[in-house]
Amino acid sequence: MSREFGSFQPGYLYQQIDFAVSDLADAYHESSRVWSGLLSEFQPVAVAICGAEACDTGPEQTIIEAIEALPRLRKELETIENFLAPYKAVAEQAIKTRLKA
């Protein structure tokens, strides 16, 4: 993890996300790797946002196409939630046990 999830170099938001996706995909811990898919799906949205901000959006990447990516983003969030579910259950049980003590 040379960059610790991103780059310190100047660049557009979508470029920084691209660096982070690469780092996360190669991460040692599954709890880090699970985020790679979400950011990968968000990266085209960031391209569209940056293009709109710079007033140079083209036919290749419009905001509408980026909005169409939302179902894929939701699917990636669901993957993360499923990964975290066992940890959440353990935390909830620990709290219940502690409150009973």
Domain boundaries, the chain: 13-100
Separation of CA 81 from chain center: 12
Token pair in block for residue 3: 């960059």
User: What is the rounded radius of gyration, in angstroms, for the C-alpha atoms of the chain?
Assistant: 18
User: pTM value?
Assistant: 0.66
Looking at residues 30-54, what average pLDDT do you find? 83
Half-sphere exposure of 5 (CA within 13 A, CB side): 11
The answer to whether 44 and 70 have CB atoms below 8 angstroms apart is: no
| Digit-coded pLDDT (tens) for 48-62 | 777 776 666 566 666
pLDDT of 82: 95
Assess whether pLDDT exceeds 70 at residue 45.
yes
Token pair in block for residue 81: 């939630």
